[in-house]
Chain A
């Protein structure tokens, strides 16, 4: 109890942020990313192709239609959202943890005019950028498969940025208390994988038992999928605004928490 209170100390204070320096933190991560992006992007390009082939064409043969769509048509937009989620979650757990505890990058930056709040904010923005980028890679595969039906897809960055921001923040909260790399296994098994499976990507949530169905509403990924899919298919509805609203709350409400927690963990 005491430990939690210590970790959340200063939660309701104004963070000490200098945006130009947040930009420098982002730029540092971006420079490192640029060293490896070619191999990285390749992975993220091949994986969706395999997924779409296996699930869309393979499994899809047995599924005649979902809400009047072919299975691959139903599936692909959801995978755009989950690609974003996975990219952010890996970056903000394993990679942030390495910077925080092994390379001591945070320590190095904080010895300069950069504050710890700048560092964490820079991390969050970098995670968001990476999520948007990999969501975009999956989207371009979807486009190549001829599955994008509407120019409204150009608005995809809006839900994807909110989704990426949400997972940047949630992952960093976990990372700030993680004792070691192994603990990320729990994070992925307990949160990320269930979300991937039950957020309306592979089947509509109406197929879930009544009691469980509403659990999907508590997950950010579900709301993102419900915005991404209509945008790609051009089937806009007003409920999309509700989903977008919930997603915005998910993204912004916990934003202050990782700033406090990382700082309290490292500076003592």
Chain B
């Protein structure tokens, strides 16, 4: 069987509505801590939607509300047009969840894990077996079918966790930090599979703090920071809007910063200070890369180093929040 043929159901939703997730003014409070502070977004059928933000931004809280592991404090949250509180079982029957932490049955074999899990969706035995075999093939786990899960590597466990989320042919797959803690090879393998699922029209909600993951997979995303949405759009759109095509990183001491900015003039869209680094956001990278060292030398400004690179979502995040996605603030007073 060809790997590409794994079937994911794409049944039309009742009422012909193409909105899969609709969140309005969503709030989640734990005791006196507000994890999610009024978030609104919607996910359409067939798209891969990302929640991008550092740890503690509220991503997991949002995701847990969607699959019913955490009650909504206030606001509205509808999945497939049903309210999460009222339709928990019907909703959960149609979603697949890849949680942040592996929660496989370690004592059971790979195949048994899938078959037992299929039981929770009330799949018939032979249907479950057939589906399990397809998934093992798709996730390249067929030769591990009879291995006990506790003997698998972290990467293989993740593959199985992802495969398990496909057992009910879900209309929506929720992935909470699916590749955190994986080595680059295992990560790329998962991305490949996710891309295949996306290309076959599966709706996905992905939380991540890897900008590369978000830009590779997401059609659209929101940038979350401290429980609020800062921006929403397609990855490239956000980059173009906020930071332009390229970034010139200039290592320069504080007293010369103003001079460099003066030199850069209107070649830059915006700038950001990150420690000893000055980040110059630009659409005219080539010109900037020529002008700055030249003019700096003319004015006797010592440059520690400089380089031009393509801009990415991390820059967008940095500019919007003053923090990196790994949660490091450039302003040490703001960090605490």
Contact = CB atoms under 8 A, between A and B. Distances in A.
B54 to A, nearest CB: 22
B97 A111 contact: yes
A245 B168 CA distance: 45
Contact of A32 (B69, B105, B120, B121): B105
Interface in B67-94: 67-71, 88-90, 92-93
Interface stretch (A62-70, A101-109, A251-259): A101-109
A109 B107 CA distance: 16
B97 A113 contact: no
A18 B93 CA distance: 13
Interface in A101-124: 103-105, 107-115
Contacts of B68: 110
A28 B119 contact: yes
B30 A268 contact: yes
A108 B69 contact: no
B2 interface: no
Contacts of A141: none
Contact of B120 (A24, A104, A267): A24
Contacts of A35: 107-108
B117 A112 contact: yes
Which of A18, A24, A36, A115 has the largest count of B CB atoms less than 10 A from its CB? A24
Interface residues of B, number: 30
B103 interface: yes
Which of B88, B89, B104 has the largest count of A CB atoms less than 10 A from its CB? B89
A157 B105 CA distance: 31
A223 B119 CA distance: 38
A49 interface: no
Nearest to B150: A103
Nearest to A2: B31
Nearest to A98: B106
Contacts of A110: 68-69
Contacts of A111: 67, 69, 92, 95, 97, 99
A103 B103 contact: yes
A159 to B, nearest CB: 32
Contacts of B152: none
A5 interface: no
B30 A113 contact: no
Nearest to A119: B120
Contact of A108 (B71, B88, B89, B103): B103
Contact of A113 (B105, B107, B120): B120
A268 B70 contact: yes
A38 to B, nearest CB: 14
B120 A107 contact: no
Contact of B119 (A18, A27, A108): A27
Contacts of B120: 21, 24, 109, 112-114
B232 interface: no
B116 interface: yes
B69 A113 contact: no
B101 interface: yes
A130 to B, nearest CB: 15
B69 A103 contact: no
Contacts of A18: 89
B7 interface: no
A146 interface: no
Nearest to A32: B107
A111 B89 CA distance: 9
Contacts of B90: 113
B122 interface: yes
B219 interface: no
A84 B122 CA distance: 32
B118 to A, nearest CB: 9
Given A113-B93, A267-B71, A20 B103 contact: no
A24 B261 CA distance: 66
Contact of A24 (B88, B108, B119): B119
B117 to A, nearest CB: 7
Given A113-B121, A114-B120, A104 B101 contact: yes
A27 B69 contact: no
Contacts of A21: 120, 122
Contacts of B112: 31
Interface of B: 30, 67-71, 88-90, 92-93, 95, 97, 99, 101-108, 112, 116-117, 119-122, 168
Interface of A: 18, 20-21, 24, 27-28, 31-32, 35-36, 103-105, 107-115, 266-268
27 contacts: A20-B122, A21-B120, A21-B122, A24-B119, A31-B112, A32-B105, A32-B107, A35-B108, A103-B105, A103-B106, A104-B101, A104-B103, A105-B105, A107-B69, A107-B101, A108-B103, A110-B68, A112-B93, A112-B117, A112-B120, A113-B89, A113-B90, A113-B93, A115-B89, A267-B69, A268-B30, A268-B71
Given A28-B119, A112-B168, 11 more contacts: A20-B122, A27-B116, A32-B105, A103-B103, A107-B99, A108-B104, A111-B67, A111-B99, A112-B117, A113-B120, A113-B122
Q: Which 3 A-B pairs have the closest CB atoms?
A: A104-B103, A112-B120, A108-B103
